[in-house]
């Protein structure tokens, strides 16, 4: 059953709450990018993708690849809320013997398609899955989420060229364009602009949206589904640390967990958010 935009926004807020709680409990992790991509992950898992938590290896399932693997707390929260595993497991993030490691491990966590963390590889894997879907005449779609700092990696552009060459219209990539990476502003470290013209030149259908606006995310995904003969990239302008005022746009929260005091402040803000 389709969910309303309001319902999806409430789920995204719940995911953000869980991210803050998980990272505070773990004492380490990456809040900034996890918070910025929460809306995209919500839209995919709770509205756009065909998947079955009771049958994680269902051959017809849509695939989601979190190439920016350090932001996996957002995905873990979504998987738990969907029913892939018990929500209580989230508080074991990054602890010894927990299946929920700091980066995705497909051999230990139900619902993950790949192990990621080495940046720049996810789109290549997505191309392979999309080609396999075409070859096997299956209707599943493949979604890949990348960071804007990540696309400084050359392998991303090799994969982009391949996807267009093989006309992978069952492939949709998201760029979480929050403008910050671990060392500072993306434009200062290695400028990736202009993104739209670059991806167009590589043969992709390019959509540009507010990546923290649920309506725009959904509409872009629907347009991607209706695009034939070209892969789609959705350039999603987001805010690093979205939803927590003192984390928004602050590069220092790329890979630093909140303190207990910061956790309390963040949770208060999220709980008082008007949706």
What would the pLDDT profile of 6-22 be if each residue is shown by its tens digit?
999 999 999 999 999 99
Give 5-272's CATH code, choosing from 3.40.50.970, 3.30.470.20, 3.40.50.620, 1.20.1250.20: 3.40.50.970
Q: What is d(CA 74, CA 54) in angstroms, rounded to the nearest whole number?
A: 20
CA–CA distance, 174 with 163 (Å, rounded to integer): 14
User: Phi and psi of 130, rounded to 5°?
Assistant: -70, -40
Tens-digit pLDDT string for the chain (275 aa): 589 999 999 999 999 999 999 999 999 999 999 999 999 999 999 999 999 999 999 999 999 999 999 999 999 999 999 999 999 999 999 999 999 999 999 999 999 999 998 999 999 999 999 999 999 999 999 999 999 999 999 999 999 999 999 999 999 999 999 999 999 999 999 999 999 999 999 999 999 999 999 999 999 999 999 999 999 999 999 999 999 999 999 999 999 999 999 999 999 999 999 88
Cα→Cα distances 222→44, 61, 200, 226, Å: 11, 17, 19, 7
**DSSP state for residue 59 in the 8-state scheme:** T
- pLDDT of the residue at 274: 87
Q: Over the stretch 151-189, which tens digit does the pLDDT of each residue have?
A: 999 999 999 999 999 999 999 999 999 999 999 999 999
Task: Look up residue 151 and give its DSSP letter.
Answer: G
Task: Identify whether the C-beta of residue 66 lies closer than 8 Å to the C-beta of residue 122.
Answer: yes
User: Residue 265 has what pLDDT?
Assistant: 98
Q: In 94-248, which ranges are continuous DSSP H helix?
A: 122-135, 154-165, 186-190, 195-201, 214-225
| Inter-axis angle of helices 5-26 and 72-82, nearest 10 | 120
Cis peptide before 194 (omega within 30 of 0): yes
Q: What is the reported pLDDT for 129?
A: 98
Beta bridge partners of 223: none
The verdict on pTM exceeding 0.95 is: yes
């Amino acid at each position: 059953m389709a969910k309303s935009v309001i319902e999806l926004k409430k789920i995204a807020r719940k995911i953000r709450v869980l991210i803050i709680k998980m990272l505070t409990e773990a004492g380490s992790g990456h809040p900034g990018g996890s918070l910025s991509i929460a809306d995209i992950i919500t839209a995919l898992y709770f509205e756009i993708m065909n998947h079955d938590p009771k049958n994680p290896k269902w051959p017809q399932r849509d695939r989601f690849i979190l190439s920016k693997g350090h932001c996996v707390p957002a995905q873990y929260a979504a998987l738990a809320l969907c029913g892939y595993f018990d929500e209580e497991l989230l508080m074991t993030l990054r602890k010894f013997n927990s299946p929920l490691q700091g980066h995705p491990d497909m051999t230990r966590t139900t619902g993950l398609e790949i192990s990621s963390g080495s940046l720049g590889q996810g789109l290549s894997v997505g191309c392979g899955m999309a080609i396999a879907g075409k070859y096997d005449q299956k209707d599943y779609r493949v979604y890949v989420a990348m960071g804007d700092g990540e696309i400084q990696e050359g392998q991303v552009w090799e994969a982009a060229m391949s996807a267009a060459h093989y006309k992978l219209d069952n492939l949709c990539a998201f760029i979480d364009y929050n403008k910050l990476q671990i060392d500072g502003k993306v434009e200062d470290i290695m400028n990736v602009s202009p993104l739209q013209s670059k991806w167009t030149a590589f043969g992709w259908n390019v959509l540009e949206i507010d990546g923290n606006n649920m309506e725009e995310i959904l509409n872009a995904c629907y347009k991607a589904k209706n695009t034939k003969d070209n892969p789609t990239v959705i350039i999603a302008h987001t805010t690093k640390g979205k939803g927590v005022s003192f984390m928004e746009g602050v590069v220092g929260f790329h890979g630093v967990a909140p303190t207990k005091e910061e956790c309390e402040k963040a949770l208060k803000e999220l709980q008082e958010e008007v949706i």
